[in-house]
Structure 1
Amino acid sequence: MLTFTNMRRVARRAVLFCLGGMILTACSGKHEGAARYRTNCGICHHGGEGMKGEIPPLIGRIDLIAATAEGRHYLADVLLNGLNGPLDIRGVHYNFSMPSFRNRLSDHEIASILTYLAARGDSARPPVFTAEEIAALRAHPLPPSAVADERRRLDGIHRLP
């Protein structure tokens, strides 16, 4: 016989089951971003701190750059198209060349890497990237030098970290 107490118990278990699934899904997305970062970006950028004067740091910067729509666009362009040219980051000069991941990573994989990196910053609410926004930008390929020009334009509007 299904009593009110039994119905509450069943409802509570259902809610806990759903919450557990949501948490597991969120955590697996974080782990996927970390794994994709390690295998595709970590070889150069290491744990995200880069190498002073050689490879730019990422940690503590991606979340700040992604705080604007233009910044999100730029970050996706970097992974999709690569980046060539001189950069000045936190007072350190880099003459940097990064390969394109356009033909190596899916929209979902690029979104998971950017989301993972953004979450490693200091922002209280780090931005989350979606496969849909990456797909929209994938439709407009750029040469790596154009991505460097995009960065310089953004840096002129508001100083990028």
Structure 2
Amino acid sequence: MTFSAIKSLGAFALFALGTVTGVARAEMLHFPAGKATFDARCAVCHQAGGKGQDGLAPPLTSYPGRYAASAQSRHQLPDTVLHGMYGEIRVADKTYNFKMPNFDSMSDDELAQVLNYVVFDLNGSHGPAKPFTAAEIKDARAKPMDASAVYSQRASVTKALGLR
């Protein structure tokens, strides 16, 4: 549609065009339920789109995809959301010192959906990662861990993946 045609239709045409564009954007999400949970519970620290907050919460736009694509490190993501984590970490040459709360009160399906949103909708490259399932979260929930164990485990995972 040309600009003059839109102009002649007035505000209604702009509203309709904006609505169609908004629908197209929403359809690009693979995990909209995960996005809703992320926006409600995670974005307060990790910010919209998982861009992170300097000094406080790291960005979630690259490392989670790498974790999820590797069999040896995939468990780090469910462990982190289930048990929380605290301590100083480095991501992409920036330092963060944050106490991430646990989200163990959320259902297995909710946690799988939010992890899938982070891995598949926020991360540009997730390699051969497969989506998380509620059963996978349930298995992770059964492991006895605490936030300090998650922190120690993360150090091993980032080293093994060559991330610093």
TM-score, normalization: structure 1? 0.77
Counterpart CA distance in 1 for 2:28 and 2:92 is: 32
Write the deviation string for residues 101-135 of structure 1: whole angstroms up to 9, x where unpaired: 012x1110000001011112122665311001000
Letter in structure 2 aligned against 1:32:
A
Q: Residue 32 in 1 paired to residue 33 in 2? A: yes
Q: 2:45 touches 2:56 (CA, 8 Å); kept in 1?
A: no
**Which structure: larger Rg?**
1
Q: Which consecutive residues of structure 2, in runs of 5 or more, have no partner in the other structure?
A: 1-26
SS across alignment from 1:86: strand
Counterpart CA distance in 2 for 1:110 and 1:154 is: 20
Q: Residue 90 in 1 paired to residue 96 in 2? A: no
Correspondence for 1:100: 102
Letter in structure 1 aligned against 2:108:
D
Runs of 4+ in 1 over 6 A off after TM superposition: 26-29
Correspondence for 1:142: 145
Alignment counterpart, residue 151 of structure 1, candidates 140, 154, 163: 154
Correspondence for 1:72: 74
What is the deviation of 1:86? 1.0
Counterpart CA distance in 1 for 2:37 and 2:151 is: 24
Correspondence for 1:111: 112
Correspondence for 1:4: none
What is the deviation of 1:70? 2.7
Counterpart CA distance in 1 for 2:61 and 2:147 is: 22
Q: How many residues align?
A: 135
TM-score, normalization: structure 2? 0.75
Percent identical among aligned pairs is 35
Write the deviation string for residues 50-100 of structure 1: whole angstroms up to 9, x where unpaired: 112221000232111211123220010000000011101111111121000
Q: 1:45 touches 1:57 (CA, 8 Å); kept in 2?
A: yes
Counterpart CA distance in 2 for 1:99 and 1:58 is: 16
Counterpart CA distance in 2 for 1:49 and 1:70 is: 25
Counterpart CA distance in 2 for 1:98 and 1:158 is: 22
Superposed CA RMSD in Å reads 2.0
Q: 2:69 touches 2:128 (CA, 8 Å); kept in 1?
A: no
Moved more, 44-53 or 108-117: 44-53
